[in-house]
Amino acid sequence: MTSESRSLTAGARWAVATAFVACWVLGLVVAGPDLGTEASLSGAGQAFSGHRRAVASSVLVHGAAGILLVLLGLALGSGRTRRTTVALASIAAVLSIDQLAGEVALALDPHRAGGVALWEMLSRVDGAKMLVLAALVASVWRGAVHRGHTLTVVSCLAVVSLVLSGVGCLTLSAGLTAAAASSLPLLLVWSLTATAASTGEQTTDVEPHLLADGYARR
């Protein structure tokens, strides 16, 4: 890791990763709309009719988690891929905020004209975000100093699953999206695995200074 990537302490990195996972878990517990890539006008209206739950879920998984994506990019970016990682995290965050705005609009007026078209657009935005997240995972892995077997395996599985799911959402293919249903769990596991790897790198970077002059530099 370079000194540029040490802007967040190990504790701060774990706080960001934990908060990111928590937002998604809480959002799923609240249970937002579950329409899949194919929806009818009545189906969209029914899914968003309980607008408080829909808004609460969207705020957690798209709003809060979207903002935390930027911090996650800052926490995990290192070496020559740091700028790329932060840029990809920022793009994913913008797409998340777009999803939040669209879902809030549907929740406030669930039977609006063009509701199905809006939901299909949001599905495609979600697909684009998944492809960006796949690139983000690859960028973090490429920039890691100590990749390790666990990080490599989890990263590869997450990238494949995110790409399949992203293509499924972009093409509105219910079958392909269902086949990649593991993309979210893998993304959450990856965020924790990558954080563990990054904090391990930080410890490794500090140790040579301790051996060289006897002083602890943090």
pLDDT, one tens digit per residue, over 180-193 is: 789 999 999 999 99
Please report the pLDDT score of residue 204 as a whole number. 46
How far apart CA 32 and CA 34 sit, in angstroms, is 6
User: Is the whole model's pTM more than 0.85, yes or no?
Assistant: no
| Residue ranges in the chain modelled with pLDDT below 70 | 1-7, 31-51, 110, 112, 201-218
Look at residue 218 and tell me if it is in a domain: no
Please report the pLDDT score of residue 13 as a whole number. 95
Look at residue 116 and tell me if it is in a domain: yes
Please report the pLDDT score of residue 142 as a whole number. 93
Where in the sequence is the domain holding 42, given as residue range(s)? 3-213
Structure tokens at 134: 């796949």
**Cβ neighbours of residue 50 closer than 8 Å, sequence gap 6 or more:** none
Number of domains forming the structure of the chain: 1
How far apart CA 32 and CA 60 sit, in angstroms, is 10
Please report the pLDDT score of residue 48 as a whole number. 56
Please report the pLDDT score of residue 146 as a whole number. 73
- Helices 82-108 and 51-58: crossing angle in degrees, nearest 10, is 170
Please report the pLDDT score of residue 92 as a whole number. 98
Please report the pLDDT score of residue 101 as a whole number. 94
Please report the pLDDT score of residue 214 as a whole number. 43
Residue 15: alpha-carbon gap to chain centroid = 15
Q: Is 191 in contact with 21 (CB distance < 8 Å)?
A: yes
Structure tokens at 138: 């690859």
Please report the pLDDT score of residue 218 as a whole number. 41
Look at residue 155 and tell me if it is in a domain: yes
Question: Tens digits of per-residue pLDDT, 86-129?
Answer: 999 999 999 999 999 998 888 887 676 777 788 889 999 999 99
Look at residue 163 and tell me if it is in a domain: yes
In one-letter notation, the amino acid at residue 77 is G
Please report the pLDDT score of residue 107 as a whole number. 80
How far apart CA 116 and CA 44 sit, in angstroms, is 7
Residue 161: alpha-carbon gap to chain centroid = 13
In one-letter notation, the amino acid at residue 5 is S
How far apart CA 123 and CA 125 sit, in angstroms, is 5
The continuous run of DSSP H or E covering 68 comes out as helix 65-76
Please report the pLDDT score of residue 199 as a whole number. 87
Please report the pLDDT score of residue 215 as a whole number. 39
**Cβ neighbours of residue 202 closer than 8 Å, sequence gap 6 or more:** 1, 6, 10
How far apart CA 32 and CA 88 sit, in angstroms, is 26
